Amino acid sequence: MPPGERVQRLRERRGMTRAVLSGLCGRGPDWLKNIEKGKRQLRDHGLLIRLATALRVSDLSIITGDSTPRPVSAGGRLMLPTANGVRDAVRGPLFTTGPSDESPSVDVLRGRVTEAWRLWHASRFQRSEVCALLPGLLSDAQTLPRQLEGPDRRQAYAVLADVYHLAQQATAYSVEPELYWTIADRGRLAAQDADDPLSLAGAAWAFGNGLRETGYAEEAIRAVEEAAEAVRPHLEDGSDDLRGMFGALHLHAAITCAREGRDGDAWRHWDEADRTAGRLPSDYVHSWTVFGRANSDFHAVSIGVDLRTPGSAMSRAESIDLEAMPSVERRSRVLVELARAQRQRRDYAGSLHWMRRAVDASPETVRYTPSARGLVSDLAKDARGPLRTDAAHLAEEVGVLVG
């Protein structure tokens, strides 16, 4: 049986429409129809992985018909089905402009972006809900700078940069790499056109995320360290948001250093960030990096886990206050860190407990983060006795292949 027919049978067995399955693969229904009808060949390994993951197939040979088994990584990433509008907005014409009297002002657009960031942090389903807003935001933000001049134009570019940073967050791990890097690079370019220290620092933070997650740790560290040093002379007379971004850059560097096993550098950067948090108002939280007292404490837990010192991580966790963190997405991520710490201790019951809480806090944070999915997969494989059933149910809920 040809691969296309196999895909169609698997899809229909799952009760999925072409629109749903193709969306999970980051493609359109016509693409999938051509695959199923044999008019297009499945040569791209990445697309095969996406199809297998979306169809919950544990072996690529089930799709290809090969005689040699080709297991799929159970923790593989999922594509975000609601990202099609973002994809169209980013890839659409750049030089279309509507009547200037129909365009929002910079202040109005900035307000919409601020509300979208609030939604990102408040929603349990932040990716789906923010991606529903992004096409309109991207369209307006890409158009506005060309209708303005001078300082107003630079402010419009600063807002555009923030929109791209939000889009980068919302699509991380869950769209094709080409789209993700287009978004990331445009955010950096918009910040350069804004020519503002806060925008440039924010772009370094966002772009550094992409560098770190694709294995360019040294480049990520250099990007955020250079940005922090560029911001430092402006701190005394700058805004709280500038100081907050300075702290966020150091937390960024701390995590990357920890993942590289550089414990001294990791804690040095964390100390700088923690001092910065102490100099800000006690209730201060940066609007999108959520830098503040609580996030500094959360990062101390993550550093302990990344350095593979679970005892230190759990000890630090005793002093954190989850309710002090307004971001649901960030709460879910620190709960994943606690699950990782317990997994390092081989405490599967503890790990499963914290992962269950992470999913309850924000299903999409776990579902679309490869490291979290990988941990769910490991728990489903390693748990024994009554825990095995609980771990299997959690894996099913997250959409992770088991067995």
What's the pLDDT tens digit per position in 196-236? Answer: 999 999 999 999 999 998 888 999 999 999 999 999 999 99
- Calculate helix-pair angle for 328-344, 370-382, nearest 10 degrees: 40
Domain boundary among 301, 326, 351: 326
Of 36, 79, 289, nearest to 175 (Cα)?
79
Residue 38 has a CB neighbour count (10 Å cut-off) of: 11
Residues 167 and 235 in one domain: no
Residue 14 has pLDDT above 60, yes or no: yes
Residues 253 and 277 in one domain: yes
Which residue has tokens 């914290």?
354
Q: Is the dihedral of CA 262, 168, 207, 297 positive or negative?
A: negative
Q: Is residue 372 one of the residues assigned to a domain?
A: no
Q: Is residue 91 one of the residues assigned to a domain?
A: yes
Q: Is residue 390 one of the residues assigned to a domain?
A: no
Phi, psi of 59 (to 5 degrees): -145, 130
Q: How many domains does the chain have?
A: 3
Q: Is residue 77 one of the residues assigned to a domain?
A: no
Residues 39 and 123 in one domain: no
- Amino acid type, 218: E
Residue 395 has pLDDT above 60, yes or no: yes
Q: What is the pLDDT of residues 247-277, one digit of tens each?
A: 999 999 999 999 999 999 999 999 999 999 9
- CA 16 vs. chain centroid, Å, equals 26
Residues 191 and 215 in one domain: no
Residues 220 and 322 in one domain: yes
Phi, psi of 71 (to 5 degrees): -60, 145
Q: Is residue 388 one of the residues assigned to a domain?
A: no
Of 216, 121, 122, 108, nearest to 169 (Cα)?
121
- Calculate helix-pair angle for 177-194, 197-213, nearest 10 degrees: 160
Mean pLDDT within 38-67 = 80
Residues 140 and 180 in one domain: yes
Residues 60 and 124 in one domain: no
Residue 66 has pLDDT above 80, yes or no: no
Average pLDDT in the chain: 91
Q: What is the pLDDT of residues 131-172, one digit of tens each?
A: 999 999 999 999 999 999 999 999 999 999 999 999 999 999
Lowest mean pLDDT among 31-40, 331-340, 362-371, 394-403: 394-403
Q: What is the pLDDT of residues 110-123, one digit of tens each?
A: 999 999 999 999 99
- CA 96 vs. chain centroid, Å, equals 29
Residues 319 and 215 in one domain: yes
Residues 175 and 216 in one domain: no
Q: Is residue 69 one of the residues assigned to a domain?
A: no
Residue 403 has pLDDT above 80, yes or no: no
Residues 289 and 222 in one domain: yes
Domain boundary among 295, 326, 357: 326
pTM for this entry: 0.83
pLDDT of residue 24: 77
Residues 109 and 56 in one domain: no
Q: Is residue 336 one of the residues assigned to a domain?
A: no
Tokens of 32: 């999938």
pLDDT of residue 15: 85
- Contact assessment for residue 106 and residue 148, using Cβ atoms and an 8 Å cutoff: yes
In the structure, what pLDDT confidence band is assigned to residue 67 with cuts at 50, 70 and 90?
A: confident
Question: In which domain, by residue range, is 268 found?
Answer: 211-326
- Contact assessment for residue 186 and residue 149, using Cβ atoms and an 8 Å cutoff: no
Q: Is residue 153 one of the residues assigned to a domain?
A: yes
